[in-house]
Amino acid sequence: MQIQSKLPDVGTTIFTVMSSLAVQHNAINLGQGFPDFMMSEELVSLVNTAMQQGNNQYVHMNGLPLLREKLAEKCLKLYNNNINANDEITITPGGTYAIYTALTAVLNKGDEVIVFEPAYDSYIPNIVVNGGTPVLISLEYPSYKIPWDVVRASITPKTKMIMLNSPHNPTGMVLSEEDIVQLKEIVTQHDIFILSDEVYEHLIFDNKKHLSILRCPELFERSFVCFSFGKTYHCTGWKLGYCIAPKALSTEFRKVHQFNCFSCNSPAQVGIAAYLQNENAYNKLGKEIQKKRDYFRELMQATPFKLIPSYGSYFECYSYEDVSNESDFDLAVRLTKDYGIATIPVSSFYNNKTDNKVLRFCFAKKEETLEKAVERLIKWKG
């Protein structure tokens, strides 16, 4: 039988490619974004207790009511937004699922979606599979700032949505107050939806403020805002997140959600609902992860790589353009095979594989892991 692929140009993700290569060559994996240190013992205990107490059956389609109530309280404290727990919060199996479902809820064939590159690898396929057209705009290298003049020039009558990601993966860029001003002007003038990927909301550094779309009523009224418990609590394998959107948008989101996932992991929701009372767990997260970033920066000074500063996320990018003309993909493969270090080539986050000679490193690791990794990187001389 012949299959007409909905994603004919899509192969295996770079994360799977590099992680498989890392396993094959027994390399230290600084490519894929997951911690190698233990998560909170308290949270593990709470989830274990939830299972032992029988919380193992389906919860409400939209998510455990208590968990949604606790998230609404959190949004009020952090972002001064009085979110309705019943109508505006939906628990999802991960942030990536929330992004896909939001796009599926509103996109029709031919709709255009503005995407900033380098972009997380699920964005473009999610748009294409829903019949949409990604309109790709490159962030300004090496600052990775948004070129708002290019955004304005790219808007057409078919523009349906702008996708944002802050803190940004892969670069660690964060939105500024000026970005918010520009965004407000554009979306209100042209009546455009927003999809805001904020899975790294608490992983923000150097005393910068996370400028969530939830802070701005005039932006939130047209937005899907997506989050991840996995990134906040270092449990990426749990695949649990949530989407916050106004009632009308949440209604459409849930129409898709109910026939795709229906209900998410019950004991994890019960445990997280209880753990959310520990506000310190997320309030101190940025400083804790910044220590790892700063330590990795210190170690990397002994290598030929040049820092491109990150202000959030699990990641920091480094340039090698002054020491080698090798493509970033070829170098990433060679570092894995010959030096035992897996990274991610940043060209993989561009649809046309733009190669600025930059690799992305995950620094959310134990100190000894970072030390061993850099010991190996030092041997590479370009």
What is the tens place of the pLDDT at every residue in 44-82?
Answer: 999 999 999 999 999 999 999 999 999 999 999 999 999
- Quick one: pLDDT at residue 25? 97
pLDDT for 75-111, tens place per residue? 999 999 999 999 999 999 999 999 999 999 999 999 9
pLDDT at residue 205, rounded to an integer: 98
Please give the class, per CATH, of domain 57-279. alpha beta
The CATH architecture of the domain made up of 14-39+283-377 is Alpha-Beta Complex (3.90)
Judged by DSSP in three states, 266 sits in helix
Question: Could you tell me the mean pLDDT of each successive run of 10 residues in the chain, 382 residues long?
Answer: 89 92 96 94 98 98 98 98 98 98 98 98 97 98 98 98 98 98 96 98 97 98 98 96 98 98 97 97 96 98 98 98 97 98 98 97 98 97 89
Domain ranges, ordered by start, for the chain: 14-39+283-377, 57-279
Helix boundaries (H) for the chain? 14-24, 41-52, 65-79, 85-88, 95-106, 123-129, 148-154, 177-190, 217-220, 229-233, 247-257, 266-275, 280-283, 285-300, 328-334, 367-377
Partners of 258 in the β-ladder: none
* 86 neighbors 133 (Cβ within 8 angstroms): no
How many whole angstroms separate alpha carbon 100 and alpha carbon 250? 14
First-last CA distance in the chain: 49
pLDDT of residue 1: 82
- Burial (0-12, 13-18, 19+ Cβ within 10 Å), 161: buried
According to the model, what pLDDT value does residue 20 have? 95
Integer Cα distance of 60 and 63 in angstroms: 5
